Every structure is written in C-alpha cells, then in structure tokens.
C-alpha cells in the first residue's frame, strides 16, 4: 500500500512539480503510522522532497521522534 502512495506522489509531482502534498491520518493512530513510514524512508524522501510536519498549528521541518498532526511535502 505504501508503495502505491509513493508511486502516486512521484507521478503527481512529475506532472505538477510546484504542488504541495498534504497528508494526515483519519485517526491519531493512522497519522502515527504515516510518521513511522516517513521515518523509515526519510533519507530517500529528503533526497527528492522538502518534508514538513504540523505541530501545535505550525509547520516545521520534519524531525524524527516528534508526533505531528499532519505532513506536507514538496518536490525539490
């Protein structure tokens, strides 16, 4: 499933390179699973994308071990 999401994000940003991708889980636990997936592939993600996390209503550069409310990515 994650591979499908990654493939879709790459395809979409190939066509729309200035687009921002917003992601959040439908539940807090789902958002946590997204964070775990992003953490697992962070080096690869950061090679191609700027990655941010939403914490306390403010966007910040994605940092390991921080619980975020949502995620935002933009192709470099």
Q: Which pLDDT belongs to residue 45?
A: 92
Judge whether residue 12 has pLDDT over 90: yes
Containing structural domain, residue 21: 2-75
Give the total number of structural domains in the chain.
Answer: 1
**30-49 pLDDT, tens digit each:** 999 999 999 998 999 999 99
Judge whether residue 1 has pLDDT over 70: no
Question: Residue 12: phi, psi to the nearest 5?
Answer: -65, -45
Place of tokens 């687009």: 19
Average pLDDT, the chain: 93
Q: How far apart are CA 70 and CA 57, in angstroms?
A: 10
Judge whether residue 2 has pLDDT over 80: no
Contact 64, 39 (CB under 8 A): yes
Q: Count other Cβ atoms within 10 Å, centred on residue 44.
A: 10
Place of tokens 């941010």: 52
**52-72 pLDDT, tens digit each:** 999 999 999 999 999 999 999
């Amino acid at each position: 499933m994650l591979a499908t999401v990654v493939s879709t994000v790459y395809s979409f940003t190939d066509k729309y390179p200035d687009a921002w991708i917003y992601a959040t889980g439908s539940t807090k636990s789902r958002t946590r699973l997204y964070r775990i997936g992003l953490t697992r592939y962070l080096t690869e993600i950061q090679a191609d994308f700027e990655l941010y996390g939403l914490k306390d209503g403010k966007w910040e550069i994605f940092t390991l071990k921080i619980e975020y409310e949502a995620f935002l990515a933009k192709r470099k």
